[in-house]
Amino acid sequence: MKTVEIRQRFLDYFARTGHTVVPSASLISQDPTVLFTIAGMAPFKPYFLGQQTPPYTRATSVQKCVRTSDIDNVGITTRHNTFFQMAGNFSFGDYFKEGAITHAWALLTSSIEDGGFALDKDRLWVTVYETDDEAIELWHRIAGLPLERIQKMGMADNFWSMGVPGPCGPCSEIYYDRGPAFGKEGGPVADENRYLEVWNLVFMQDIRGEGGDKGAFPILGPLPQQNIDTGLGVERLAFLLQEVENVYETDLLRPLISTAEALSGKVYGAEGGKTDDVRFRVIADHIRSGTLLIADGVGPGNEGRGYVLRRLLRRTIRSARLLGVTEPVMPALVAQVRDLMTPLYPELTSDFARIERVAVAEEVAFLKTLETGSKLFGTAASDTRDSGSTVVPGDTAFALHDTYGFPIDLTLEMAEESGLTVDTAGFIRLMDEQKQRARADAKARKGGFADQSVYRELLEAGATEFTGYDELNSEAAVRGVISQGQRIPVARVGDIVEVVLDRTSLYAEAGGQDSDSGSILGAGMSAEVLDVQKISRKLWVHQVRITEGELAEGDAVLTQVDPAARARSNQAHTGTHLVNAALRELLGPDALQAGSYNKPGYLRLDFSWSGSLSAGAASEIEEVANRAIRSDLAVSTSLSTVAQAKARGAVALFGEVYGDEVRVVEIGGPWSLELCGGTHVQHSSQIGTLVLLGESSVGSGVRRIESYVGYEAFQHLATERALVENLSGMLKVPSKELPGRVSGLVERLRLAEKELAGLKSAAVLSSAQGLIDGAEQVGDTAVISELLPAGISAADLRTLATDIRSRLGSRVGVVALFAIVDDAVSFVVALTPAAVSAGKNAGALVTSFLPSIQGRGGGKAEMAQGGGTNPAGVTDARAALRSAISGAAG
């Protein structure tokens, strides 16, 4: 049974049983505590948390998910993927344990003709939470399972929570016995390789408190209603129904391995090729995950989602290189993902040109990284040998990996080829420290939903009505006043509190537009609005400072938007749309918006593009946008469904979640047609003017344009004009001759600096003989150790040390020069050939004094250099160096 049929059969069964079929959400998570959608229940999280009222009592979905917590183990095991599809059925206060068990058993064991999966009932086992006798009774009665095939497990395995205070409950997992060839008998408690988990049924019935995972938290009591959340792994069921050994041999992954075989000339599963098999599986897994992430709007970058995507793509490329592939692999692999996954995700074909362009650009960039990393490794290997060691330091390997993106296994392989090893323990320690910092950061962010619990009751009262499209002042009633996460009855002068109203004219930050400024007024009360945010896209939360009187729940108030600030915000947001349309007109449809931000008078727009824009292109974008402003284009808004809007050609932002009804902003007909909830001018001419400030990179494949509009644009131009007039007056030339005059001055300055550097270098070198004459004899070694006067640069140190060394000729000599540069120490240690022949090593000598100056540095046997942060320690450093030379001589 093909995977696409498994997916559809699951949805069809639950549709027949009264469940609403909900489309898969984006891989980009709307939960601020995680980067990606990591579970099938994630889009329903607000319903389980009570933040929103679900529009249905039962639902079903097949959700695309990405988890990368175990990315280093992908391919090593044969049942874990970074991308997977989680099929689930959900009940919100409707059926509970009996219904969930009945549905799962019926779907898994019914015949193919009846719409089921026809799994052998005698090979199915279940586990339940250790105190859930009710579930045991239900499985025995409904499924007829013998009690010996129903096993109890503890909280670590069979109790579910979100990891934060909120809903939780016991779960029951369904396992399939793959047979004696896959492990020992005894059920899931004995061997989870032989007994493969297929489906997890979560009985959400309790509320948990603060604490860690795995049961280190109290159960506070029952939920107001009992819910069901289940998850069936589509890929796992596929490899059972397709009767293959593992997920990598299923119909949506094995062809990717075949493509990698064709590229490499190697064979998957060949005898003695376990290492290569892991590489094949990494390629298949990572290219699928990476392609689907790009399709959902993620671009490669150095942090967050972009970093994860970059790592997936680069591990794919690196694995291909380790298989011996020398040509680019992205075009063939991404095309194969498109062909395999388009029946499930049609956007892979409709948006293929952009997806391929992003993947190919990352491959080109990474191949340059591999070239650079190989050179850096060559230097590190040489330094290791020169220091008399055969072990590349762990911090060197970590720097190659973390700073330059050079994979550790490639470092290990190159070290082995060079007859060296790597301090893997040191590397792992540094990696662990980095992971612990990341986990601590993630844990610190994990309380996002818990912090919103105070809003649940307010959400149940209904959404805040936003009136700000039509009016700047609105009468409203205070639903709640919140301070430090708690509702309070009244707020007084000086208090900074959060206020929830039944209606408001103040715009909440969303869609890249900053929140409105303004005030809230009541009887004898006034409050300054500091910020406005949305909770669950329905509740407007105003952060205010009480400036007069008192504010209490139930009060009648008036919201007032600062009209001047709103007008400037409108200019900026409409200006953003104009720049976006200009980009698409000039660069084509591949210049996709990747994010935006606008506030009164200012806008920035991020867009997907490889390479910088030329000055001419940037100027042309500015001209197109201003031409649209001068044309006085009408700006209109309308409401429609997402499908209708896209059919008209409306542009939607990748990763954004839209409701059933969306707002479409149209400027000049189809020229600019976007889904947008922001506020805008009524005619483009109301923007006044738009001035491009610059265009820059904000990550691989993502560019940023920044602009001023309206009065801010006028101020900027006035400032530029005053600057030009000032320079013209200073240089006594007309403004049109300024470029030539400034260019001439710059060239004269460059020549003067070159001449000065030559004089300075000559002065430095002139001191060489004096330092030689003052050399100290330590054993058989002439030692020149000197702290040079202020003003000596690191480059001067090296030049002088090299000159002194050459003048020492055949003597055994050590030259150690120090200088204080910007409150820090620079040093160079140079050895004559005779000193190196005598067994001395500059890199080793440096280590003797580094602690004194709190420094770092190193180098080869004949020369080492570096710096330190403790200038006061130079005297001790020079003494330590003499002791090291004296000890070596002894």
CB 296, CB 30: distance < 8 Å: no
Q: What are phi and psi of 650, to 5 degrees?
A: -65, 140
599: left (phi over 0), alpha (psi -120 to 50) or beta: beta
Is residue 568 within 8 Å of residue 600, measured between CB atoms? yes
DSSP 531-571: EEEEETTTEEEEEEEEEES-EETT-EEEEEE-HHHHHHHHH
Angle in degrees, CA 825, 829, 835, rounded to 5: 165
- Is 176 in contact with 124 (CB distance < 8 Å)? yes
Calpha distance 11→384 (Å, rounded): 60
Q: Can you say whether the dihedral through the CA atoms of 584, 588, 589, 594 is positive or negative?
A: negative
Which amino acid, 529? V
Distance (Å, whole) CA 436 – CA 201:
31
* DSSP code string of 639-696: EE-HHHHHHTT-B--TT----SSEEEEEETGGGEEEE--S---SBGGGG--EEEEEEE
CB 797 within 8 A of CB 827: yes
3-class secondary structure, 497: strand
- The amino acid that residue 308 corresponds to is V
User: Which residue ranges make up the annotated binding site for Zn(2+)?
Assistant: 573, 577, 676, 680
Longest Cα separation, the chain: 101
Token representation of residue 756: 């000065």
Tokens of 748: 């004269």
| Alpha-carbon gap, residue 616 to 352, rounded angstroms | 29
Q: Which residues are annotated as a binding site?
A: 573, 577, 676, 680
Question: How many alpha carbons lie under 13 Å from residue 864 in its C-beta half-sphere?
Answer: 26
Residue 598's beta-bridge partner residues? 513, 603
Three-state secondary structure call for residue 435: helix
> Which CA distances in Å does 851 have to 275, 563, 818, 882?
43, 62, 15, 15
Query: For residue 884, which phi and psi values (nearest 5 degrees)?
Result: -65, -40
Residue among 167, 233, 234, 235 nearest 202 (CA):
167
Rounded Cα distance between 562 and 506, Å, is 9
CA distance 515 to 536: 16
Question: Which phi-psi region, left, alpha or beta, contains residue 489 (left: φ > 0; alpha: ψ -120 to 50)?
Answer: alpha
How is 569-592 classified by DSSP, letter by letter? Answer: HHHHHHHHHHHHHHHHHHH-TT--
Determine contact, residues 805/832, Cβ cutoff 8 Å: yes
Q: Label residue 74 exposed, middle or buried (CB < 10 Å: 0-12, 13-18, 19+).
A: buried
